[in-house]
């Protein structure tokens, strides 16, 4: 449990930072229709949105790392050579790679970087769908896989079915995490279509 508890200060700090940036960006007009937001505020909102996206990646990786370490310590620490332990470490490294790649694409997705928050700047950016669809789909797959690991362990316990159901229900929050990821992806895909400042709010609400 020591490894998991060490992640708590980082998660709390990142969550506070995320909420603080969200409050500031909403004050500038995020959540309003684009025609009601000044150009200066529009650019500031997008700077903050990029910062939020990076913080979100840090929060998600830290949370998944803590959950996977917790699952390993509860179910598999006494079987270090178990295939599932290797799967857990594989998931940790896969998530680290995924979120590191997403952060790099967020930072360097436009050339020059300034074009991310200043559309009039000459240059080009990657299509948002090219970022959100693969990363969102992989995030959902990651959530489902992490949810499956403890449920598989619980199903093999030599215990009454009621006990297994009760134990499995403790991990039911993972279902809501998957639903939130799907909802966030659906809103993210609309950002290129119209009125992005209006749609940015539900994207972050589902984060």
Read out DSSP for 131-169?
HHHHHHHHHHHHHHHHHHHHHHHHHTSSS-HHHHHHHHH
pLDDT grade for 104, boundaries at 50, 70 and 90: very high
Per-residue confidence (pLDDT) for residue 201, from 0 to 100? 61
* Number of CB atoms found within 10 A of residue 159's CB: 11
Per-residue confidence (pLDDT) for residue 138, from 0 to 100? 84
Instruction: Give the residue, 202 or 76, on which the prediction is more confident.
Output: 76
Instruction: Give the residue, 49 or 200, on which the prediction is more confident.
Output: 49
- Cα–Cα distance between 58 and 79 in angstroms, integer? 29
Question: Which segment of 21-30, 46-55, 69-78, 197-206 scores lowest on mean pLDDT?
Answer: 197-206
End-to-end C-alpha distance for the chain, whole angstroms? 26
- Cα–Cα distance between 90 and 96 in angstroms, integer? 10
- Cα–Cα distance between 78 and 129 in angstroms, integer? 43
């Amino acid at each position: 449990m020591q490894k998991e508890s060490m992640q708590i200060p980082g998660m709390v700090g990142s969550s506070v930072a995320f909420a603080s940036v969200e409050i500031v960006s909403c004050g500038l007009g995020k959540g309003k229709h684009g025609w009601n937001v000044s150009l200066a505020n529009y650019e500031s909102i997008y700077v903050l949105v990029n910062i939020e996206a990076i913080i979100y990646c840090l929060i998600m990786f830290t949370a998944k790392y803590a959950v996977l370490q917790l699952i390993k310590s509860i179910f598999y620490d006494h079987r270090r050579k178990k295939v599932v332990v290797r799967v857990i470490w594989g998931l940790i490294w896969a998530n680290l790679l995924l979120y590191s790649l997403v952060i790099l694409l967020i930072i360097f997705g436009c050339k020059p970087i300034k074009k991310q928050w200043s559309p009039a700047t000459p240059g080009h950016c990657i299509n948002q769908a090219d970022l959100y669809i693969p990363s969102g789909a992989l995030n959902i797959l990651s959530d489902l896989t992490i949810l499956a690991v403890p449920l598989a362990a619980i199903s093999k316990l030599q215990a009454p079915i009621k006990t297994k159901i009760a134990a499995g229900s403790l991990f039911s929050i993972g279902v809501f995490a998957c639903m939130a990821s799907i909802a966030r992806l659906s809103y993210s895909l609309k950002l290129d279509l119209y009125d992005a400042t209006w749609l940015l709010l539900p994207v972050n609400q589902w984060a």
